[in-house]
A = this chain, B = another copy of it.
Amino acid sequence: MTETAAVKAALKTQAVETPSWAYGNSGTRFKVFAQAGVPRDPFEKLDDAAKVHEFTGVAPTVALHIPWDRVEDYTALGKHAEERGVKIGAINSNTFQDDAYRLGSVCHPDAAVRRKAVDHLLECVDIMDATGSKDLKLWFADGTNYPGQDDIRSRQDRLAEALAEVYERLGDDQRMLLEYKLFEPAFYTTDVPDWGTAYAHCLKLGEKAQVVVDTGHHAPGTNIEFIVATLLREGKLGGFDFNSRFYADDDLMVGAADPFQLFRIMYEVVRGGGFTPDVAFMLDQCHNIEAKIPAIIRSVMNVQEATAKALLVDGEALAAAQAAGDVLEANAVVMDAYNTDVRPLLREVREEMGIDPEPLKAYRASGWGERIVAERVGGRQAGWGA
């Protein structure tokens, strides 16, 4: 009973950040299927994000992506958000869409291109100052496609130099979250391909540099929860970009492809003391073929369900079975939590939070989806601009 109360209390404190770009159009290299009602500017993205928070109660912040969300007046943008009950979260940089970045950005062989890229990163920190964002999230598309194309080690040197300059610019309350990714869009080397590389750079930069784990950025077979446990043990887990994948960086709804993996990850978060505001829980998904706002609501709910199950693991029984070397019993303790249907519990949590116990139904009943289709006519739909 008391335990259930504790689980509920924890779930009420959960915060999942949604990404502005997930509300816009996205696709594959083969096709971007436009959807009716998609936002035309950052303000409309925040409107949609506010709906996700309204109906889930646990999505209070919205990540921006620069330049996709560049506006004249970030104060006005922040005010727009707050009026709708949300805040601006992490600032995501983009050093992959300018023609200059064909061979890289901060790792480019040409110092002028690197300068341009670093300047963009510094601009992102300026925007953080304006928006009150705490986190600068860095994902670099840098890499090479062919053996020999560029010097692997020199690119690391350039990367280190760029990161150091940006790190120096960070304010006292600001962090740099460095993301790694195995491949895509680079197909031979990627300059930050794995957690080890991100970790090594963050270690040298200092306390304000931390690693962010995108759950879709690993080689097949990689044990992501091990990385989570390790980074927490090292004090270097800055946050997550949640999504799910069957193959590569598919960017499907988190929990859709392997809900058991998501549960294991959340278990290690809880186990390692990572269920705190110091670890940012962000979504980074592409809703290429499904309705976007409901997909994001569903994703938030999937994170909640995995978290609830993780919180329900009987720690004492588990520790006892582990200490006894009872493989089957230890596994059973974990599976008992996973096999629990936590949806009733989450319905209670929502009712206690004063929101509808069925976020998707409530969203659909709200008429928001129809309204944006009707109202957002004309203008240019938001997208990646790829």
Given A200-B199, A289-B102, the answer on whether A247 and B183 have CB atoms closer than 8 Å is: yes
What's the number of copies of this chain in the assembled complex? 4
- Partner of A184 from the list B33, B248, B298 (CB cut-off 8 Å) is B248
Residues on B with C-beta less than 8 A from A289 are: 102-103, 145, 327
Q: Are B246 and A247 in contact (CB under 8 A)?
A: no
Among candidates B148, B194, B260, B386, residue contacting A330 with C-beta atoms closer than 8 Å: B148
User: Which A residues between 227 and 260 are near B, CB-CB below 8 angstroms?
Assistant: 227, 229-230, 232-234, 245-248, 250, 252-253, 256-260
- Min CB–CB distance A116 → chain B (angstroms): 15
Assuming the contacts A96-B31, A290-B145, A328-B295, asked whether A152 and B226 have C-beta atoms less than 8 A apart, the reply is yes
Q: Judge whether A172 is part of the interface by a CB distance below 8 angstroms.
A: no
- Give the distance to chain B from A124, nearest Cβ to Cβ, in Å: 18
A14 at the interface (CB under 8 A from B): no
Q: Which residues of B contact A226 (CB under 8 A)?
A: 152, 189, 193
**Chain A interface residue number, banded:** 35 or more
Given the interface pairs A199-B200, A225-B152, the reply to whether A256 lies near B147 with Cβ below 8 Å is yes
Which residue from B151, B325, B384 sits with its C-beta under 8 Å from A322? B151
Chain A 306-342, CB-CB to B under 8 Å as 1, else 0, gives 0000000100001101110101101111110011110
The reply to whether B153 and A271 form a contact with Cβ atoms under 8 Å apart is yes
Interface assignment of A304: CB less than 8 Å from any CB of chain B: no
**Which B residue's beta carbon lies closest to that of A342?**
B339
Task: Check: A381 CB closer than 8 A to any chain B CB.
Answer: no
**Contact flags (1/0) for A355-386 with B, using CB distance below 8 Å?**
00000100000000000000000000000101
For residue A354, CB closer than 8 A to chain B, the reply is: no
* B residues less than 8 Å from A199 (CB atoms): 196, 200
**A246 and B187 in contact (CB under 8 A), knowing A148-B334, A152-B226, A200-B199?**
yes
* 8 A Cβ contacts from A144-196 to B: 145-153, 156-157, 182-185, 187-190, 193-196
Please name all residues of chain B whose beta carbon is closer than 8 Å to the beta carbon of A109 when the two chains form the complex: 322-323, 325
The distance in angstroms between the C-alpha atoms of A318 and B27, with both chains bound, is 25
Q: Are A288 and B30 in contact (CB under 8 A)?
A: no
A residues at B contact (CB < 8 Å): 26-34, 96-97, 99, 101-103, 109-110, 141, 145-153, 156-157, 182-185, 187-190, 193-197, 199-200, 203, 218-223, 225-227, 229-230, 232-234, 245-248, 250, 252-253, 256-261, 264, 268, 271-272, 288-291, 294-295, 298, 305, 313, 318-319, 321-323, 325, 327-328, 330-335, 338-341, 343, 360, 384, 386
Query: What 4 A-B pairs have minimum CB-CB distances, sorted nearest first?
Result: A196-B196, A148-B334, A219-B219, A220-B220
